[in-house]
Every structure is written in structure tokens, then in C-alpha cells.
Structure 1
Amino acid sequence: MMSKVHITECLDIDLDKELWCCNRCGQELYAARDNYKKGCLVAERDMKEVHPPMTDDKTYSFTPDSGYCRLVEFYCPGCGTMLENEYLPPGHPLTHEIELDIDALKAKYASER
């Protein structure tokens, strides 16, 4: 069976171990049947740092209000590669945007041997 399957630019799934992995350094992150973000280093960024004013005009500059929006970044704990980022309202739980049928992937790659 093919052990690792490329899922995103920086994420693989190791089907033998059923683990999310960083495909840059091979760091095992978290159980593949769960949210890989639980195995990442997480940083919440200051919106003023990320989105400086677009103009010098103080009457028209816009920076997202951190009281309404936060930027959360997810990094590989092995190599520091940013794996994902998301904008969320304060208090909103982290999203679980990738949910795969691991059993179907295992069957697909077992049949390709």
C-alpha cells in the first residue's frame, strides 16, 4: 500500500499509521480521522500588524477590527512551515475543513498495488 498520500500543498496522510504529516519535514501531526490543526503550533496575529493601513489618510485608512475578527495561523511543530491560516470571529472554534474517508483511501491505494 502507498503509505503517504498528498492532500494539500503541505499536508500528507500516512495511511498505514492513520496520521496527518507535514510533507516538508515528515513531522507527524495528529490522527488522520481528526482535525490536523490539533497537532500544530498555533499563533493568533494582531490585525494591525497583518493589515497595516493602506493609505496615509487617517480619515480613510482601514484595518480589520480585532474585536470582530482574528487571524489564526497553524504551523508544523517540526519545521515551522505555515500549514494553514484562517480568519475567525473571536470565540469561534477552529474550523475542521478537511474530513476524509480514510477507509475509502486505504481501499483505493490497496487496489493500486
Structure 2
Amino acid sequence: MKIHEYLELDAQAATISCSECGEVLCDADQNYKEHSSMRTGPVTDAGPLFQPPERVLGSDPGYEFREWFCPGCGVLFDHRFALEGDRIIHDIEIDVEALES
């Protein structure tokens, strides 16, 4: 079952995998991002229209640009801006008990 553009849920095995290459990332109750390859960089890595925070805000509050990739094939799963040191958001939570029903 597709749960994201590039993520599949195997309800019987209760796992999340990459829909491009089939790489199993984690159990369904885990945060797939914590089992993906993550790259962090400055805000300007998001593209040429993104200015350094200090230019816009007058100071650099410590923002970074995060990207999560499949460790098997490199397809991009997600990207976000975050403060350095912020936890990784668990944005897709699967009710594993409901899968067993």
C-alpha cells in the first residue's frame, strides 16, 4: 500500500520500504526518516532563490536544510527546513495494531 510518493507499507510484514527499489527501511511503527540517508546543509542548498537567513533576518538563528534519501537507490523522500539540533519529525505514523485486524 502506497503511503507516500516513494514509500510503500507492507501490511503483512509491517514494514516500510522504498517504492522505487524495494529497500526495506524499517518496521511500520518506526520513523522512516531515522532509517534513511540524511543530508544537511545551509538554507541556500534549497535553491538559488533562498537567501542566507542572516540576510533576511539580520542574524543567523541556526537554520539548516535537511533532505532524506533512500539508502538503496538515492531517491529523495522528503526535505525540510529546521533549526540545527531539532529532532526529526515523525510525520507518517502507522497504527500497527490496526494492521493486525
Structure showing greater Rg? 1
Deviation (angstroms), 1:70: 1.0
**Cα separation, 2, equivalents of 1:90 and 1:102:** 31
The runs of 5 or more residues in structure 2 that have no matched partner are 55-59
1:96 paired residue among 67, 90, 94? 90
Equivalenced residues, count:
96
1:80 partnered with 2:74: yes
How far the C-alpha of 1:87 sits from its partner, in A, is 1.1
Moved over 6 A (4+): none
Q: Which has the larger share of strand? A: 2
CA deviation after TM superposition for structure 1 residue 106, in Å = 4.1
> Is the CA contact 1:44–1:71 (under 8 Å) kept in the aligned structure 2?
yes
Offset, 1:46:
2.1
Identity of aligned residues (%): 28
TM-score by length of 2: 0.81
Aligned match of 1:63: 52
Aligned-residue CA RMSD in angstroms?
A: 1.9
